[in-house]
Every structure is written in structure tokens, then in C-alpha cells.
Amino acid sequence: MLRTLIKKEIRAGLFSFRFTVIFALLLVVVFVTALVLTGDAVRKGEEFSSRRSAIEDYLKNYAHFNRLRNVVAPSSPPPIPAYGLFRGVTSDVNIEDFDNDPLPVMFPLIDLTFIVAILLSLAALVFSYDAVCGDKEDGTLKLALANSLARWKILLSKVLGASATLAVPFLVSLGLGLLVIVFTPKLDWRGVNWATLALVLLGAAVYVVLFVILGVLISTRHHSSSSSIMTSLFVWVLFILVIPNLSPFLASLISPAPSRIQTYRAADRMTDVERDELGRKLQSERMEALVKRYPVLAERLSEAEAKARVARDPAFREAYEARVREVQAAWNEANRIQNAKRNALLGELERKEQAQTRLSRNISLLSPLADYTYLATDLTSTGLRDQAHFTLIRRLWERSYWDYVQARVAALQKTDPAVDWWNTAVDVSDMPRFQYKEEDLASRLKGVLLPLGILMAMAVAAFGAAYVSFVKYDVR
């Protein structure tokens, strides 16, 4: 009997006008989205390769340690194949792109996450808002209950029937979108990308079923379709728009953090103006003591004259090497002191920002949209989890890079102490390059168990509430 009821619901849904509208909408939106995002992902991949080649060319001719880090340090993760369907937060347009073309910022591209989170959730309510009250209005509910049908079977058939009906246009349109992926070899989708997509679709199924159940629940609380759809829209706005957008503001009120702009300005001053003042002071103090030991250092010589004298005068070479060591020690001390101050300031900012972010995330988990968005973006390496993963990899690279620079400069100064190796082009072909690698799928899956569990718990709770309400529902 349950199978018969489900078939009835599916048949009624497939031949409804709402099905035709949603089918046409998804068919166009999903296909166009895949087409646009795929082209955008390929373009970004080509631009990334061009930038990397340009950097390598720069390193061959202008590799000065004093400015090298600003050239080779990565600012964002490289493009990944998942960008063909999932835009995420790591591929947002940066300020340079905004200067060149403001439209991507004003009207950002939609992706599969947006389609599921916004369009399918609304479509789920459209399919289910009159599941019970609509049958009451046309008299079919009273007839079904008169035949001694169990209420839980009627309720379950409406949930499964609406969900299956909604799956048809989505899967067909997604199939067309995946054809774009398959016939774009430059995107290079591999097994892990298809496995990730399957997991995202599993989360999407739970998410859509949840909204179908919410629609059925709302229908059991009303006796007319007109009032049910208004309540459904209110619930949709609350879950989709209000809670996710209010969570950062509530978190900032409960757990405030200092201004990032002001903090970074203060930090930059510590390692720029204040560092230079302290460096000059320490250098002057050390040079005063050193000149007493080596009076020859009081003479003012050009770099060329000093280099020539180092080559022919061993005593001057000893004095000059001592000067280089003292100057370097002074600036190393200045850098150490100011970097410690800067790191302390930025560390406090990071700690408060992380606390605020955690609180905002926890508040937003009350919204199914936030739960699904976290699930989809984290699984596809396009969300906040990937940003944290990228930051960790970058910090490890920065440590190896700095160790390399210090060791290389020290070796070069031993060969020729008269040269300012921080501002002289050198061969850095053996420099450690930044290599980005996505987090493994098992770790990503483990990280999304919480939002997936919350979605499932919400669905179970909503179905339980719908059943209790339906048991007490007056069908007269």
C-alpha cells in the first residue's frame, strides 16, 4: 500500500504545472551555470600557469632577497577542478579583478551549492506546502482515511513522493551539466572529484528532503493552502536569509574583535618605521664600539673602494667583515624585537577573530542552508576549511623559505662580505617552491559530519513533529 501511495504522489507531481516550471528552470540554470563556471575555471587555470611562468622568469633575473618573498609568497590556493561546478569562497574575486571589471563582484556567479541551497529548497516547499491541507480542500484526505490507511503511511508517501518528483528535474539537469565537465579536458576531473560530487549529492538529498518535510509539517498546521504557502515562505526566509546573515553580527556583539585594518596598520608600522628607527639606533651603538677597535672604519669609502681595499688589505678585510657582522646583528636584533611585537599583536587579533568565527559558525548551524553550504564547500575544497588548510601549508612553506634565505645569505656573505646580498640578484633555482595539495577526502568527510548530522537530526525531528500534528489533524 505504501508503494501505491508513493506512485500516486509521484504521478500527481509529474503532471503538475509546478513540475513543468521547476524542470524548465533547473534545466536552464544548471546547464548555463556548468558552462560558465567551467569556462571560468579553465581561464583561471591558464592565468595561474601564466603567472607561475612569469614568476620563474622574474627569479632568473631579479631575485633579490629583500623583495623576493612578496613575489613568490602565495596569496590564495591555485585553481582546482572542483571550480567547474562549485565556486566556493576561495575563488572570490579579489580587489585587482574589481578594479578591472566590477560586474563579477556586483553580480557574482552562482554554482551548484547555490542552486541546491536556494532554488531546490524553495522548490521543495512549493511541492509540499499543500500536501495535507490541499488534500483536505479537495476531499481526497477524508476519503483516504475512510479506507483505514495509516496516517504515517500517508505522511511518508507524501514526503517520498515529493522528494522523488523533485529529484527528476534536478538529476536530468545535472546530467547535462556534467556533460560539460566531461567534454572539457582542461578541467581534468578525476576519481576523487566524482567521489566528492557523490557525497555532496548525498548531503543535497538530505537537505531537500528536510525542506519537503518542513513543507508537509506546515501543511499539517493549516487548513487552507493559501495560509500554508505564506507560512512556508516565512520559514524559508527565516532559515535561508535571516539566520545565516544575522549570525556574524550576533557573534560580533557577543565576542568582539579589534579592527583588522587598524591592527595591520599598527603591525606594519612596527616592522617598517619603528623597525628602521630601532635598527639605526642599534647599528649606531654597535658601530661606536667597533670603530674604537678598528679606527680604519671611520673612513668614508664607496662600495667599490671598500671592495677593492678588502681584496688587497687583510687588516681592512678583517675590520670590514667585523662591520658587516655587527650591522647584520643590529638589524637582526631590531627585526627580532619588532617581529615579536608584531606577532603578539597579530596573534591576539587572530585569537579573537577565530573565537568570533567559531561563535558565528555555531549560530549559523541553526540554518539548514548554512549546514549544507559548509558541507558542500568543505567537501569540494572551496570553503573555510580549505582556507585554513591553505594557511597551514603556506606557514610551513614560509618557515622553509626563511631558513633557506638565511642560510643562503650567510653563505654568500662568507664568499664576499663587501656585497649587499639582500639587494643583489642571485641564483635561487634551488629555492623551495610552494606546492599546494588538497586535503585528502577522508579528512574532509570527517570534517562535515557535524553539519550532515544536524541536517539529518532536523529532518527526523521535523518528520516526528509532522506526524504528531497529522495525528491530531481534523480532516472534516
What is the DSSP annotation of 326-364? Answer: HHHHHHHHHHHHHHHHHHHHHHHHHHHHHHHHHHHHHHH
Closest CA to 338 of 286, 257, 413, 282: 282
The confidence score (pLDDT) of residue 193 equals 93
- Torsional sign, CA 338, 355, 206, 369: negative
The confidence score (pLDDT) of residue 107 equals 52
The confidence score (pLDDT) of residue 280 equals 92
Closest CA to 181 of 269, 83, 247, 306: 83
**Is the pLDDT reported for residue 96 higher than 70?**
no
For 381: left if phi > 0, alpha if psi spans -120 to 50, otherwise beta; the answer is left
Neighbouring residues of 267: CB distance < 8 A, sequence distance ≥ 6:
342, 345, 346
Between CA 376 and CA 33 the distance in angstroms is 16
Between CA 247 and CA 379 the distance in angstroms is 22
Grid coordinates representing 318 are 678583517
Grid coordinates representing 276 are 628602521
Higher-pLDDT residue of 132, 422: 132
The confidence score (pLDDT) of residue 20 equals 94
The confidence score (pLDDT) of residue 465 equals 95
Closest CA to 463 of 219, 283, 265: 219
Mean pLDDT across 275-282: 92
pLDDT in tens, 316-342: 888 888 888 888 899 999 999 999 999
User: Is 127 in contact with 215 (CB distance < 8 Å)?
Assistant: yes
Q: What is the DSSP string of 198-218?
A: HHHHHHHHHHHHHHHHHHHHH
Q: Using 50, 70 and 90 to split pLDDT, how confident is the model at 109?
A: low
- The alpha carbon of residue 435 and the mean position of all alpha carbons in its chain are separated, in whole angstroms, by 18
Place of cell 613568490: 72
pLDDT in tens, 131-166: 999 888 888 888 877 777 788 888 999 999 999 999
Mean pLDDT across 351-380: 93
Report which residue type is found at 48: F
**Is the pLDDT reported for residue 130 higher than 80?**
yes
Higher-pLDDT residue of 301, 24: 24
Instruction: Determine the longest span between alpha carbons in the chain, in angstroms.
Output: 113
Q: Tell me if residue 454 falls in helix, strand or coil.
A: helix
Q: Using 50, 70 and 90 to split pLDDT, how confident is the model at 105?
A: very low
Mean pLDDT of the chain: 88
Domain edges within the chain: 2-252+445-471
C-alpha distance from residue 171 to each of 35, 37, 284, 376 (Å): 16, 18, 73, 17
Neighbouring residues of 328: CB distance < 8 A, sequence distance ≥ 6:
413
Counting residues of the chain whose pLDDT is more than 90, the rounded percentage is 52
End-to-end CA distance of the chain: 24
The confidence score (pLDDT) of residue 90 equals 53
Closest CA to 338 of 262, 410, 279, 401: 279
Three-class SS string for 106-138? HCCCCCHHHHHHHHHHHHHHHHHCCCCHHHHHH
Q: Using 50, 70 and 90 to split pLDDT, how confident is the model at 108?
A: low
Between CA 368 and CA 240 the distance in angstroms is 7
Counting residues of the chain whose pLDDT is more than 70, the rounded percentage is 96
Between CA 137 and CA 143 the distance in angstroms is 12
The confidence score (pLDDT) of residue 101 equals 47
Lowest-pLDDT choice from 18-22, 343-347, 452-456, 470-474: 470-474
**Is the pLDDT reported for residue 386 higher than 70?**
yes
Determine how many CB atoms are found less than 10 A away from the CB of residue 106: 9
Between CA 333 and CA 269 the distance in angstroms is 17
The confidence score (pLDDT) of residue 92 equals 47
User: Is 418 in contact with 307 (CB distance < 8 Å)?
Assistant: yes
pLDDT in tens, 205-248: 999 999 999 999 999 999 899 999 999 999 999 999 999 999 98
Place of cell 579553465: 42
C-alpha distance from residue 321 to each of 295, 306, 396, 409 (Å): 14, 11, 33, 14
User: Is 110 in contact with 408 (CB distance < 8 Å)?
Assistant: no
The confidence score (pLDDT) of residue 93 equals 45
* pTM for the full predicted model: 0.82
Neighbouring residues of 254: CB distance < 8 A, sequence distance ≥ 6:
359
Rg for the chain (alpha carbons), in Å?
32
Mean pLDDT across 302-306: 77
User: Is 160 in contact with 5 (CB distance < 8 Å)?
Assistant: no
